[in-house]
Amino acid sequence: MKKAVFPGSFDPITLGHVDVIKRALPLFDELIIAIGINDTKKYRFSLKERLSFIEKTFEHVPNLKVETYTGLTTEFCKEVNADFLLRGLRNPADFEFEKAIAITNRRLTGIDTVFLLTSADTSFISSSIVRDLLKHGGDLSQFAPKAVIDGSK
């Protein structure tokens, strides 16, 4: 059974995340969306809201789970017996940043990272852009799934 973990803060989940998740689903028997909890980070949405956004977006997907974790992502991967980490890449800067982490994770734990490039039509979307649109009352329809739009009102 091939199991992957897609970690992130998902504050909030965006259509870029959704794109990567949908394209990753056929690659793995199980995909765990893992919301990392960092007590030093200030989030726009509560953990409960972020969980709800993802669960509602993927409510009819049987091989997808949503979980939360603290600590090292690789330790969480070991706890859930994941074989792979999944990461989305929007641009070359993402690759350079993620490459060093992937090499470290592989060296320390043997867990491989699978990279998927975001689609051209979502490669510019980030959670910070969505949060900024929310702050200023912008239209989220091209940036965030319906669950985020409905939950932000």
- The answer to whether the annotation marks 141 as part of a ligand binding site is no
Residue 48 annotated to the active site:
no
- The answer to whether the annotation marks 73 as part of a ligand binding site is yes
Query: What would the two tokens of residue 11 be?
Result: 């504050």
Q: Which residue has the tokens 């990753």?
A: 24
User: Of 23, 90, 99, 106, which residue is the catalytic one?
Assistant: 90
What is the helix (H) or strand (E) element at residue 5, kind and residue range? strand 3-8
List beta partners, residue 64: 31
- The answer to whether the annotation marks 37 as part of a ligand binding site is no
- The answer to whether the annotation marks 128 as part of a ligand binding site is yes
Residue 17 annotated to the active site:
yes
Residue 82 identity (one-letter amino acid): A
Please confirm whether the linkage preceding 12 is cis (ω < 30° from 0). yes
- The answer to whether the annotation marks 89 as part of a ligand binding site is yes
User: What is the distance between the alpha carbons of residues 6 and 146, in angstroms, rounded to a whole number?
Assistant: 20
Residue 41 annotated to the active site:
yes
Asked if residues 140 and 133 have their Cβ atoms less than 8 Å apart, the reply is: yes
Residue 136 annotated to the active site:
no
- The answer to whether the annotation marks 125 as part of a ligand binding site is yes
Query: What would the two tokens of residue 14 be?
Result: 């965006």
- The answer to whether the annotation marks 17 as part of a ligand binding site is yes
- Longest alpha-carbon distance in the chain: 45
- The answer to whether the annotation marks 124 as part of a ligand binding site is yes
- The answer to whether the annotation marks 88 as part of a ligand binding site is yes
User: What is the distance between the alpha carbons of residues 8 and 10, in angstroms, rounded to a whole number?
Assistant: 5
Binding-site residues for ATP, in ranges, read 9-10, 17, 88-90, 98, 122-128
- Binding-site residues, please? 9-10, 17, 41, 73, 87-90, 98, 122-128
Which residues are known binding-site members for substrate? Answer: 9, 41, 73, 87
Q: Which residues are catalytic?
A: 17, 41, 90, 127
